[in-house]
Amino acid sequence: MTPSPDLPTAPAALRFGESGLMPAFVTDVSDGKPLMMAFMNEEALRKTLETREMHYYSRSRKELWHKGATSGHTQKVIEMRTDCDQDCILIEAEINGEDIACHTGRESCFYRVVEKDGLVIKD
């Protein structure tokens, strides 16, 4: 993929997997709570850097996805970090809207607790 001349170039050291995707973990800047995990391709990363709002790559739809474009629950980037292998990204974000990060309407996608006897939903 040739970068668009009007978008910043993604940092060269980042390593996207064989599929061209990188995991992105998002936490709430106000309290560090985990909000969601999604995937980014290079285009999503470049759009995120350009707009300072989170963009992801939807594996099911096979397209770029601007988080909150439909729901209004956008995620403003406060800080992005990469891990030591530079193959995943951790994002501190501020949720705009009603503090909802999950498509289920919950604040976080991580609302199920794994226990010995199965999954338990704890709100």
Range of the domain at 97: 22-121
The tally of domains found in the chain comes to 1
Does some domain include residue 7? no
pLDDT of residue 11: 66
- Show the tokens assigned to 111: 């609302």
**CATH code of the domain in which 91 resides:** 3.10.20.810
Query: Looking at the domain assignment, is residue 12 inside a domain?
Result: no
What is the per-residue pLDDT across 3-59, written as a single tens digit (0 to 9) for each? 444 545 566 788 999 999 999 999 999 999 999 999 999 999 999 999 999 999 999
Q: What is the pTM of this model?
A: 0.82
pLDDT digits (tens, 9 = 90+) for 46-88: 999 999 999 999 999 999 999 999 888 999 999 999 999 999 9
Between the alpha carbon of residue 88 and those of residues 20, 42, 60, 69, the distances in Å are: 12, 12, 20, 24
- Which residues are CB-contacts of 21 (< 8 A; sequence separation ≥ 6)? 39, 40, 41, 57, 59
Tell me whether residue 86 is in a domain.
yes
Tens digit of each residue's pLDDT (9 = 90 or more) over 96-110: 878 888 888 899 999
